[in-house]
Structure 1
Amino acid sequence: MISQQTLTMTLRQVLLTLLSIGMAFPFFWMVSSALKTNDEIWSFPPSLWPSDPLWHNFTDAWAAAPFTQYIFNSIFVATIIVLLQMLNSGMMAYALTHMKFRLQAGFTTAILIGYMIPATATYLPSYLILNELGLLNSYAGLIFSNCVSVFSIFLIRQAFLQVSHELVEAGQVDGASHLRILWTIIVPITRSSFAVLALITFIEQYNNYFWPMLITNDPSLQLVSAGLRSFFVEGGAYGLKWPLIMAASAMTIAPLLVLFIFTQKTIIHSVNLSAGATKG
């Protein structure tokens, strides 16, 4: 007779398997559609896999638009933004949690209030500031306008609050500076939060669409989202070249899938290290 524990575990595994299939199916359908003809895509009932896969659709889509430039722009801009946000978020969170200074509560309150302000409400003043600085239509404008994030500060601050202040005091007794305490004690303990921050920020900036379109008009500075739109509409592919559109979409998503696979392992490993450090 099957025990209750075995039955529960089996049902849980079945449920997780179904959820995994449901989450992976859209990407499978996108790749499958990229290998079909227009007639096969719109046929009913739809087929899961084409009878004669057209692998050249991927090379045709890659040659039809400068996707190499689009992907490079997105990866370059997102990577620099991730590094800058991790740097300034770590220093700001440390100041708010393990340093004492005037108006500390006021700064914390301001950050919490800023977290509730929609990003679109800052577009107009941010645009005017970038215009005055001469940073419109440039990599510098794309990067510096996103190098500080209230969400990032809030996330790292919450992680730093879990670190005992006694560790900071022990470092100060040993004569360590605040920067050394931050990067040699606090950051290694909270590395899982930084890994999560890096993943979330990279995906957000890689897929960023509206703000980059607002401050840039040079096609060579377009990110993948804007590049896909240009290919979809301006390239004459609207409603006509769905296999190429699906192929282009699959190629631009591939870097995110690779990043998620590697970051997932890093996050799990970091969580285990953080738990061990906390117990110790």
Structure 2
Amino acid sequence: MYWARLKTGIHYAALTLLSVMMVFPYIWMFMTSVKAKDKLYSGSIFPSTFHFENYFRVFTETKMLLYLWNSIYVSVIIIVFQIVSAILAAYVFAAIKKKWVQFCFVLILATYMLPAAITYIPSFIVLSKADLLDTHLGYIFSEAISIFAIFFLRQAFVQMPKEVVHAAKLDGAGHLRLIFTVYIPYSKNAIASLVLITFIYSYNNYMWPSLLIKSEENMFVTIGLRRLFMSQAGYGMDFPLAMAACAVSLLPMFILLAVSSKKIIHSMANLYVNK
């Protein structure tokens, strides 16, 4: 009994230490964001007075609201395209057992093993010829299909009880009816988690949008933050303003994770379960 309690205490202590290490950068960011600029190097992590006006300056002295709007609405559109395409493709790969279908699934998964940077040059050339550079439409078009989303939903669809599928087919259900009345309701938790994962990925994406988007009115949060840091590079940089902007940009992510963390963990835990 004593050793069991000691082992449990060590586990909790290790988890607490790791949690503090992970949370500390966010605490430092918030404390810096409410400091006065001349007190930034005072040697204390906690400010003597809290300057919450730095957060008001984020919206009055920068275009953070525009960046947030661009990131959120583009991410929502990408979610719609990726979820619809993933549902249709996942149904084919999960319900049709022909060899050529499974070969196509393996081939698609093989492309997922390639680094994303390999696709940047051909995608850039295609969008350039279509005159879609520096546009939200071009970025949405390039992110409309996700191999991860297809694989994620396929793993959820293969867990569908065969008895339910056979009963629906005996009732005269075709492919579309099976998708909308059987597969989607059964996998609604996985789809909800995929929506959140896709939003987080799209919202935080930086490398490809930074190559594609150049005009300020089309910039996303990730590019806007970099622009803010670059515009104030040097010793005169307003770090409290920059940290306040970072904190504001993270707010949608914190809200999503607080609301749906258990759902994401549950779906990811069942990702590789194949009954």
Determine whether 1:56 maps to 2:43: no
Aligned twin of 1:71: 68
C-alpha distance in structure 1 between counterparts of 2:212 and 2:230, whole Å: 20
C-alpha distance in structure 2 between counterparts of 1:195 and 1:20, whole Å: 27
C-alpha distance in structure 2 between counterparts of 1:9 and 1:204, whole Å: 35
Aligned twin of 1:35: 34
Amino acid at match of 1:58: Y
TM-score normalized by the length of structure 1 = 0.87
Q: Report SS of the residue matched to 1:36.
A: coil
The match for 2:95 among 93, 98, 104 is: 98
Q: Report SS of the residue matched to 2:48.
A: coil
Whether the 8 Å contact between 2:75 and 2:199 is mirrored in structure 1 is: yes
Task: Tell me which moved more, 57-66 or 131-140.
Answer: 131-140
Aligned twin of 1:254: 251
Aligned twin of 1:181: 178
Stretches of structure 1 lacking an aligned partner (at least 5 in a row) = 275-280
Identity %: 37
Deviations 1:172-212 (A, max 9, x none): 11111222222322223323322332222211111111211
Deviations 1:204-233 (A, max 9, x none): 111111211222222111000110111111
TM-score normalized by the length of structure 2 = 0.88
In the TM superposition, what are the counterparts of 1:1-280 in structure 2 within 5 Å?
Answer: 3-43=2-42, 46-101=43-98, 103-234=100-231, 236=232, 238-239=234-235, 240-267=237-264
C-alpha distance in structure 2 between counterparts of 1:166 and 1:114, whole Å: 33
Aligned twin of 1:277: none
Question: Compared with structure 1, are the counterparts of its residues 238 and 192 closer, same or farther at alpha carbon in structure 2 (3 Å cutoff)?
Answer: farther
Deviation (angstroms), 1:167:
2.5
Question: Compared with structure 1, are the counterparts of its residues 212 and 35 closer, same or farther at alpha carbon in structure 2 (3 Å cutoff)?
Answer: same
C-alpha distance in structure 1 between counterparts of 2:215 and 2:3, whole Å: 62
Deviations 1:232-268 (A, max 9, x none): 113x354421111111111111111011111225447
Task: Tell me which moved more, 130-139 or 83-92.
Answer: 130-139
Deviations 1:38-79 (A, max 9, x none): 443333xx3231011111111123222110000000011111
Deviation (angstroms), 1:104:
0.7
C-alpha distance in structure 1 between counterparts of 2:254 and 2:213, whole Å: 27
Stretches of structure 2 lacking an aligned partner (at least 5 in a row) = 271-275
